[in-house]
Amino acid sequence: MNKMEKKGKNMSLQDAGTAQADVAGGKEKNSLYARWGWLAGPLVIAALCLWHGLDVENSVTETGERWLYGWYAGLAVLALAVTAGLGIELFIRRKMKLETLFVVSVAALGLVYTLVLPPLSAPDEVSHYISAYELSSRLMGREAVNENGLIRIRAEDAWLEDVNDVLADDGTETGNGNDAVILGQELTEGTYQRLHEEITGADGYKEPETYQAGAAKPADMANDTAVSYQPSVRTTPLAYLPQALGFTLARVLGLGSLGLLYMGRLFNLAFFAAAGRQTLKRLPFGKTVVFGVYLLPMNLHLVSSLSYDVLITALCGYFTALSLDLAYRARRVLLKDVALLALTLAVMGPCKMVYGVIAGLCLLIPVRKFGGWGRWLGSAAAVLGAFLCAMAAVNLGTVSMYTKAEDSYIAWAGETGYTFAELLHRPVHVLKLCYDTFVWKGTQLFEGMIGGSLGNQDPVLNTPAAVILALTAILVILALKKPEETVQMKAGDRIWIGCLAVLVLGALMFSMLLAWTPRSASMIEGVQGRYLLPVLPALLLTIKNNRVVRTGNDDRGLLYGIMAMDVYVAVRIFAVVCLRL
């Protein structure tokens, strides 16, 4: 390693503000701030736990479910342990490198979120669950789909999609059509109660007769298997590989339904932690900004679920890091770098093709680093070709269906929708709908990106407005230039990244207009703030400039503030769910 490389590495550790070296100078390590700053987090969290304990007490008074005290006490202990542990590392030990700290903090905070927001509670998580289940069966060499195209599951897992046991053997409902309940779809005190009964076998819980030991199996069940009536997601199976591996391990170990779900969630979380670690290692600057984005409540909720958004966010972040590293730090682009860019885009692209727009980040890399226009063109063809081949292999049928359709029907609204050809011939109308959506739903999209409407897009389970503003302010501060830093990104580069972000938003709106919006709607339906998380790191990195400079260079307090607020959001959500009787 030459002197320049060593200097660059040391600067990256200073940028993290959490390295072994004293990032703000040797004297600060012995200051009161460094020794006792970590105590602020646990003290505030303890006070807030006591405050929200009043909500839990009100719930127990109303329902008589005293076990909620034990659950809340356990959550409070975990919350204090995570807050104190991370604070001690950030302010006292300071031994971990930034990448290691990221893995530890994401794992700890992700564990809190996966306990508070139970399985199948994340957006579309039941669809991701059954898709991972199908892949797990294929990995185990078992029949994944029956003759009717329904996915086979273990008989003991059927209750997850029918908590109230209202579905008949053929999948039709025996009672009110609204009575079929999927676990976690709407988080209430009853959801926690069912989990409590499943875990402890509490008195008063009676397993549905269909699945009791010795009971006759329905006609569509054989060898202790059942079928799911949830459709799987048509996308690359790689999007569900971590979850499927977790499911497979759980099935081999003979774990129950909840063990299966939590094992899949933990594998998904582990994948994100590993991918995020590689992203931070590859980034040439702005490491703590990306660290902060990945700790946002919405992202923690998603990465601790079964959602394939984990793969999208992780690989978009890694592709961004690769592109910026090759543009601003690497001396030249090697063949392995082109292969990594192509592979990352090919794996991530088919999940949501609109994110293929981030391939434009490669244009930040100077042609001279490729060795000339010939090699640049060959590299561009390889990266773009890998994306197009993956799209053709996975999504050709879907793309063809939408582009060739002569009419459209939006099932959820029971109305007709737009066709692809029609939208192409009405560009002004499309722009008007995009503008109206951004104007009227812009605040909702922003809050949704940070932490609004957690759970299954539940507006009650949100991050308080004050916390959203504080998290936003911290991210902006982390993105600002420090006194010792050199701004590498030129104005033209920042404008280009901003254009790519606008293109992603536009592509998202167009796709939702085509697939989810009825003709009667005055705005585009289905666009959610969480869809913007994959491009948020690159957008924040454009803030760094020479005109606005931070006075401090230590990011520990800022990162710790995000972590403490994450813990508070989880504690508050638990208390809110307890009140929903």
pLDDT mean over 182-203 = 88
In whole angstroms, how far apart are CA 413 and each of 123, 127, 318, 408, 459? 19, 20, 37, 12, 20
The per-residue pLDDT for 402 is 82
Between residues 401 and 159, the one the model is more confident about: 159
Alpha helices in 285-334 (DSSP H): 287-294, 297-303, 309-328
List the one residue out of 152, 151, 176, 156 whose CA is nearest residue 166.
176
Asked if residue 173 has pLDDT above 60, the reply is no
> Residue 201 CB: number of other CB atoms within 10 A?
9
For the record, the structure tokens of 251 come out as 């099935």
The per-residue pLDDT for 163 is 86
List the one residue out of 47, 50, 29, 28 whose CA is nearest residue 39.
47
The per-residue pLDDT for 308 is 96
Whole-angstrom distance, CA of residue 398 vs CA of residue 401: 5
Asked if residue 10 has pLDDT above 60, the reply is no
The per-residue pLDDT for 215 is 34
Give the rounded percent of residues in the chain with a pLDDT score beyond 70.
88
pTM, two decimals, is 0.90
Q: In this structure, which amino acid lies at residue 256?
A: G
The per-residue pLDDT for 330 is 94
Q: Which of 34-43, 72-81, 351-360, 512-521 bottoms out in mean pLDDT, i.e. has the lowest?
A: 34-43
* pLDDT digit string, tens, across residues 210-226: 333 333 333 333 457 88
Asked if residue 472 has pLDDT above 50, the reply is yes
Long-range own/partner contacts, residues 530-533 (CB < 8 A, 24 or more apart): 530/123, 530/298, 530/302, 530/309, 530/448, 530/449, 531/352, 532/445, 532/449, 532/504, 532/505, 532/508, 533/293, 533/296, 533/298, 533/299, 533/302, 533/309, 533/313, 533/449
For the record, the structure tokens of 150 come out as 């329904």
Between residues 402 and 291, the one the model is more confident about: 291
List the one residue out of 310, 72, 309, 151 whose CA is nearest residue 160.
151
The per-residue pLDDT for 581 is 80
pLDDT mean over 401-430 = 89
Strand partners, 227: 152
pLDDT mean over 9-36 = 47
Whole-angstrom distance, CA of residue 166 vs CA of residue 418: 36
The per-residue pLDDT for 234 is 87
With cut-offs at 50, 70 and 90, classify the pLDDT of residue 500.
Answer: very high
Burial tier of 20 (Cβ tally within 10 Å: 0-12, 13-18, 19+): exposed
In whole angstroms, how far apart are CA 372 and each of 202, 333, 375, 444, 500? 70, 11, 6, 46, 25
Strand partners, 152: 227
Whole-angstrom distance, CA of residue 19 vs CA of residue 101: 9
User: At 437, phi and psi to the nearest 5?
Assistant: -65, -45
Q: Which of 35-39, 326-330, 382-386, 454-458 bottoms out in mean pLDDT, i.e. has the lowest?
A: 35-39
Q: Which of 29-38, 263-272, 352-361 bottoms out in mean pLDDT, i.e. has the lowest?
A: 29-38
Q: CA quadruple 345, 347, 348, 353: dihedral positive or negative? A: positive
Distance of CA 452 to the CA centre of its chain: 13
Residues shown for the chain: 581
pLDDT mean over 356-384 = 95
With cut-offs at 50, 70 and 90, classify the pLDDT of residue 412.
Answer: confident
Question: Hunting for tokens 């690159």 — which residue is that?
Answer: 538
Domain boundaries, the chain: 1-95+551-581
Q: Which of 15-19, 462-466, 514-518, 551-555 bottoms out in mean pLDDT, i.e. has the lowest?
A: 15-19
- Residue 88 backbone class (left: φ over 0; alpha: ψ -120 to 50; beta: rest): alpha
The per-residue pLDDT for 218 is 39
For the record, the structure tokens of 147 come out as 């003759």
With cut-offs at 50, 70 and 90, classify the pLDDT of residue 16.
Answer: very low
pLDDT mean over 375-400 = 91
